[in-house]
Structure 1
Amino acid sequence: MTSRLSANDSAPAFSLPDADGQTVSLSDFAGGRVVVYFYPAALTPGCTTQAIDFTGAYDELKSGGVEVVGISPDPVEKLAKFRDKEGIAIPLLSDEDKSVLNAYAAFGERVLYGKKVEGVIRSTFVIDVDASGNGTIAEAQYNVKATGHVDRLRRTLGV
């Protein structure tokens, strides 16, 4: 597993398909700030709560100069179903081979119901992307809770 990322580390670049199969890359956010959050599985209770919370805050975040993308190992088709069923407004990206999850150290051993398992570590990163499309981690949060996370993040960002 990759070492956990911290503030001031370089953000690993990515290019992944969204729920419509269109490629979204870190460099697409050049000159701005983006929240990249990793979640275990679409259409599950905690992940639905988190995605709906990000959707509810999306306009305010955008007004504050912050974009948001969610990344999971789900296939594109499942992401489209999730987006449509729950009215998710933020881009959802598919990382089926877990290469980006691994690059961000958001996949590995975690505790689930008291047992150690391998899986997605619910994580959130605030990334400043320079004009050339290279990112720097401004904030790295691992093992976040789905409920209340977006409100805490908004306070951290001042949005």
Structure 2
Amino acid sequence: MKHWMVAALLSSLVAAPAWAALKEGDAAPDFKLQASQDGKAFTYSLKDQLKKGPVVVYFYPSAYTGGCNVQAHTFAVNVDKFAAAGASIVGVSLDSIARLNKFSADPDYCAGKIPVASDPQGAVSKAFDLAVTDRPGRKDTRGDDIDHAFVERTTFVVTPDGKVAATIGGVAPLVNVDQALEAVKDIATKRAIGSGS
């Protein structure tokens, strides 16, 4: 009996991902990825975007899946609130750029308001210390096959100095967006206090 318990414990440790998302204060890895906004592909550079202010980098499992649809729509609906706090948004998944061209323009989801970037090999996702897992045989909400691995849903708020100001994971998509908005508002408040306005 004891051998069975030890074996079960060891197998659960081996099966658990050895990933732990970057934390507040960590340096965010710089990246350039092919991205799409409103159906148009372009090269997205985190370094270039940070010159304009904080960036909300949200990693999500797959375009056209339940929670990811809700999250993209909620970010798109609230994009002006993020902009008012001086922040921009980019989504990152392992979807192909072809899928993201459709997703980024879809009026029910990104609605042309937020860019979504393709990390097809998961290199950027892994650089942020996120788990990437294969889930073969999955279909999206349109009934199409999903032919890529999934990254765990985690959002990072990155400040212009390239540091992680907040890490948001393990919560529902709507809560994820709400917490990201609160984090950028907090940064904007601190910046206003620091500048004496």
Aligned equivalents of 2:104 and 2:28: distance in 1?
A: 26
- Say which of 6, 18, 21 aligns to 1:4: 21
For normalisation by structure 1, the TM-score amounts to 0.84
| 1:56-135 → structure 2 map (5 Å cutoff) | 56-85=77-106, 86=108, 87-108=111-132, 119-130=150-161, 135=162
Tell me which amino acid in the other structure corresponds to 1:8: G
Aligned equivalents of 1:129 and 1:157: distance in 2?
A: 12
Residues 139-148 or 94-103, more deviating: 139-148
- Is 1:22 aligned with 2:42? yes
Aligned equivalents of 2:45 and 2:121: distance in 1?
A: 16
Q: Which residue of 2 aligns with 1:48?
A: 69
RMSD of aligned C-alpha atoms? 2.1
Greater fraction strand: 1
Consecutive aligned runs of 4 or more in structure 1 exceeding 6 Å deviation: none
What is the CA deviation profile of residues 12-53 of structure 1, one whole-angstrom value per residue up to 9, with x for unaligned ones? 111001123311111112331000000000011110100010
Tell me which amino acid in the other structure corresponds to 1:141: I
Aligned equivalents of 2:28 and 2:153: distance in 1?
A: 17
Change (3 A) 1:145 1:88: farther
Greater fraction helix: 2
- Say which of 158, 169, 172 aligns to 1:142: 169
Q: 1:3 Cα shift?
A: 4.4
Q: 1:152 Cα shift?
A: 2.9
3-state secondary structure, aligned to 2:75: helix
Structure 1 residues without counterparts, runs of 5 or longer? 110-117
What is the CA deviation profile of residues 71-124 of structure 1, one whole-angstrom value per residue up to 9, with x for unaligned ones? 000001101111222324111000001000101122246xxxxxxxx8411000
Aligned equivalents of 1:119 and 1:17: distance in 2?
A: 18
Structure 2 residues without counterparts, runs of 5 or longer? 1-17, 134-148, 187-197
Q: Which of the pair has the greater relative contact order for Cα pairs under 8 Å at 6+ separation?
A: 1
- Say which of 166, 180, 183 aligns to 1:156: 183
Tell me which amino acid in the other structure corresponds to 2:121: D
Q: 1:144 Cα shift?
A: 2.9
For normalisation by structure 2, the TM-score amounts to 0.69
Q: Retained in 2: the 8 A contact 1:98–1:107?
A: no
Aligned equivalents of 2:77 and 2:154: distance in 1?
A: 19
3-state secondary structure, aligned to 1:148: helix
